[in-house]
Structure 1
Amino acid sequence: EAAAAVTSLTRLQIVHRDLKPSNVLVNEAGQVVKLIDFGLAHAGDHSKIDKKNIVAATGTPVYLPPEVLREERVTHKLDVYSFAIILWEMLSRELPYNGLTFQEMVRR
């Protein structure tokens, strides 16, 4: 259900910009109830998002794709990448860049 929600955002040209486990509500049966915290969301033409200090204005660094960390661009793929990191964390019980500094994450 979470994948379907992310797919719906993509179809609607909405970038959540801060997908992380705490923004995915799940009920006791393990079903996704809703995605929350659209405070950083952007709809429509993503080329209009201000590229200056984009990391500070876009989500939690560990869930952001490399191109955003390098301040290159923001697209709907940001949410797909963030969702993949959430899945990675669920399966491995750790983050892919666990223990690295922000600069090391960007470099890798």
Structure 2
Amino acid sequence: MQLLSELGGHRNVVRFLGACLDAQRMFILLELCPSSLSDRLYKEDTDLNEHEMLVVALGLYYLHHCEPPVLHLDLKSANVLLDESGTAKVCDFGPFHSMEDAANRFDPAERSGIGSPQWIAPEILRGGRSDVKADSYSFGVLLYEVLARQLPYAGQDTSTIIIGVITRMLERPALEPADAARWPECLPELMEECLREAPGERPDVEDLIDMLELIAPEAAESSRAAAESSRAAGDTEEIR
């Protein structure tokens, strides 16, 4: 609960407002966001663009540079909410972990301590340690959702996905040529870099932001202007 209360000082992270506890239940109050990237992709049939991906990366940057650093470990379109102005905000504080908890490992037999396996980095599914590159992998799967407009491993059940990834029998999400052709070439390339098997070969969040700002300089300028305006209004967020 303390970790939740300390997060939310960034315009691209959902703000924690409070909680109500009793002997049997816990209620968490977050800022109101009426929609999500998942709704935009699968219910509203609305195209997303580089701007949404950039602001998600900015939210991750904030989390990774908290003290102590925070890992999301369940980044997906359903966990990126949109407020009434359409601003994307990283959410789902349930599985958030500080880097101090990174030694906690996923037990494939129990399937505990993990978010959604379609988006989880393979080293975590295999019982390895978590670090910031695990969120880079999840960002790549989220980018796949945006580019392909479909869920990863569609039609596969949870057990099949976990076993397939652990045994390397299930291939990572890949774009159809027709889907890749709809986007600037660098976006599918960025997705593939994030989905690399070896964590050390994936870009970190700073690299993601740099690449997305090169792809969409107008979106980068808009995000910076919004951040400056938010800070002028008294927000405590860090402006990268």
- Deviation track 1:11-55 (CA, whole Å, cap 9, x = no partner) reads 2210112111111012466531x2111111111324432x25275
Contact 1:17–1:40 under 8 Å retained in 2: yes
**Structure 2: which 5+ residue stretches go unaligned?**
1-54, 169-240
1: CA distance between counterparts of 2:140 and 2:130? 16
| Structure 2 SS opposite 1:78 | helix
2: CA distance between counterparts of 1:2 and 1:52? 25
| Structure 2 SS opposite 1:25 | strand
| Equivalent of 1:67 in 123, 142, 162 | 123
Q: Does 1:36 align with 2:96?
A: no
1: CA distance between counterparts of 2:113 and 2:127? 11
Q: 1:16 to 1:52 in 2, by over 3 A?
A: closer
Correspondences of 1:26-105 after superposition (within 5 Å): 26-27=82-83, 30-32=86-88, 34-49=89-104, 51=105, 53=107, 55-100=111-156, 101-102=160-161, 103-105=163-165
| Structure 2 SS opposite 1:59 | coil
Contact 2:106–2:125 under 8 Å retained in 1: no
Correspondences of 1:15-30 after superposition (within 5 Å): 15-27=71-83, 30=86
**Structure 1: which 5+ residue stretches go unaligned?**
none
Structure with more contact order per residue of length (Cα contacts < 8 Å, sep ≥ 6)? 1
Q: How many residues align?
A: 106
| Structure 2 SS opposite 1:71 | coil
Percent identical among aligned pairs is 36
**TM-score, reference length from structure 2:** 0.40
| Structure 2 SS opposite 1:45 | helix
| Structure 1 SS opposite 2:147 | helix
- Deviation track 1:44-84 (CA, whole Å, cap 9, x = no partner) reads 324432x2527521210000011011111111222121111
Task: Give the root-mean-square deviation of aligned CA atoms.
Answer: 2.2
Q: Which residue is 2:166 aligned to?
A: 106
Letter in 2 for 1:89: E
Contact 2:106–2:114 under 8 Å retained in 1: no
2: CA distance between counterparts of 1:47 and 1:22? 24
State the structure with more CA Rg.
2
